[in-house]
Copies of this chain bind each other. A is one copy, B any other.
C-alpha cells in the first residue's frame, strides 16, 4: 500500500526486498573498496547481517549481485516492447523501446557507474553481463521477427538486428558512463541508432 510496487506488499515480501538490498549495498561497497575477487561471500553476508548460506538464496553467484537490476530491466524492456503499436515498423518499435528504457538509466546513473567500475576490474562480471545481454537479444529478436512476419529460427535478420542494435547500445552506454554520465544518454543512443539505420557506409561523414 505504502510501497511503490504492485498492490499487495506483505511483510514477507517487504522483508525479502530489504534483505536483498542489504546484500547489494554491502557487496558493492566491498567490491569498490577492496575489489571484486578479494571480497568473500562471508564478508558480504556478515555486512548484510545474514548467514553465508542465505546469500545463495538471493543470488546464484557473486557476480550476479553486481547485475542485480538486470532482470528488472529486462522485464521492463519486454513490457515496453509489448506496448508499442502493432503497425509500427520493426526498427522503429525497437528504437522507441530502447530509447524509452534509456530514460530509466539516467536516474540510475550512480548505480551504473559503480557497476561499470567494478566490471572494469572483474572480467568474470563482465562475462556474466554479456551473457545476460543475450536475453535482451532474444526479446528484441522475437519482436522484430513478429513485425517482420518471419520465423526467428529460419530467418537470420531478427537476431541480426537485435544483436547489432544491442551492441551499439552497449558501446554507447559505456562511452556515456566513461564521460561521467552527465550528458543526454538517449540522445547518444538516438545518434547511434541513426547511424545503424543510415548504414555504416556513412561513418566518415560526421563526427557523431
Please report A residues at the B interface, Cβ cutoff 8 Å. 89-91, 123-124, 126-128, 130-131, 133-134, 148, 150, 153, 155-157, 159-161, 163-168, 170-172, 174-175, 178, 188, 192, 195-201, 203-204, 207-208
Contact = CB atoms under 8 A, between A and B. Distances in A.
B157 A163 contact: no
Contacts of A89: 204
A166 to B, nearest CB: 7
Nearest to A91: B200
Contact of A164 (B150, B168, B198): B168
A156 B208 contact: yes
A93 to B, nearest CB: 12
A176 to B, nearest CB: 9
A130 B178 CA distance: 21
Given A127-B130, A127-B131, A130-B127, A175 B159 contact: yes
The 8 closest A-B pairs by CB, nearest first: A199-B199, A167-B167, A127-B131, A130-B130, A127-B127, A163-B167, A197-B201, A163-B171
